[in-house]
Amino acid sequence: MMGLGRRLFADVRRIPGVNGVAVTFDDGPGEGLDAFLTTLDRAGVRATFFVVGEQVRAAPGRLTEIVAAGHEVGLHCDRHLHQLSLTPWAVLEDLRRAQATIEDTTGKPVRLYRPPYGCYSLASWFEAGRRGWTRVRWSRDPQDWAADATPDGIVAAVGRPEPGDIILLHDSDRYSVPGAWRRTLAALPRILDAIAAAGLTACPVGALLDQAGIGRGPWSARVGFTPERLYRLG
């Protein structure tokens, strides 16, 4: 049986017992969204988009397009700030505002959460638990946001995907170098081809969780911890 510590302090990086690979995008929705949606649609692939609240408010129609195209939406943040640089109160407000923006736009509850830079603070960790969000990181990160990234380098860094992998990509360059999303877009067809060549199906995170029989929502949601308790906010 999984120990208390592992259940309490676990997030999803690779999903066991599945025949697929999760394709995920952070930091959007950005100006290149239509091109990403077209590429995914041509390949018959649905993905997970971890979106930023301020990006959604700037162009809410883009998030509507993501949902209409059959893709999954997760919460990334409201402003793309490293959570360890914020007070616990600021982290909670960031998450709450992002959640309200996403749910007001999509009409659907948030179920998946990935923090900026893949780094949780104590407040965000337990707030995710309190709200029943599944915490998601990744198993393959080609660092497509970097200044020296190239389409060939991105494809090489992803390599040959394995069952249950979660691939991290970015569909916006607002928080990285200008034009970064264009390199990701150029690499995307070959990444999808590599998944297919491995005999695997590219799909959203939620589809793999369902296939694996893993319930949504972190274990800590069921043990009563809250950031308000930890920081005596309530």
pTM over 0.85: yes
Instruction: Residue 84: count other Cβ atoms within 10 Å of its Cβ.
Output: 13
Residue 230 lies in a domain: no
Residue 98 lies in a domain: yes
Among 11-25, 42-56, 210-224, name the one with the lowest average pLDDT.
210-224
For position 213, what pLDDT does the model report?
86
Q: Report pLDDT digits (tens) over 89-144.
A: 999 999 999 999 999 999 999 999 999 999 999 999 999 999 999 999 999 999 99
Q: Give buried/exposed letters for 47-83 (b at 16+ CB in 10 A, else e).
A: bbbbbbbbbbeeeeebbeebeebebbbbbbbbbbeeb
Residue 229 lies in a domain: no
Cα-flanking dihedrals φ and ψ of residue 223, to 5°?
Answer: -115, 5
Return the CATH number at 52.
Answer: 3.20.20.370
| Domain residue limits at 120 | 20-214
Residue 220 lies in a domain: no
Comparing CA positions, the residue from 103, 66, 98 lying closest to residue 83 is 98
Comparing CA positions, the residue from 194, 169, 162 lying closest to residue 184 is 169
Residue 222 lies in a domain: no
Instruction: Residue 42: count other Cβ atoms within 10 Å of its Cβ.
Output: 10
Count of structural domains within the chain: 1
Residue 187 has pLDDT above 80, yes or no: yes
For position 214, what pLDDT does the model report?
80
| Tokens standing for residue 154 | 């991105």
Instruction: Residue 44: count other Cβ atoms within 10 Å of its Cβ.
Output: 10
Residue 201 lies in a domain: yes
Residue 225 has pLDDT above 50, yes or no: no
Q: Report pLDDT digits (tens) over 140-176.
A: 999 999 999 999 999 999 999 999 999 999 999 999 9
For position 10, what pLDDT does the model report?
61
Please state, in angstroms and rounded to a whole number, the distance separating the CA atoms of residues 178 and 172.
Answer: 9
Residue 123 lies in a domain: yes
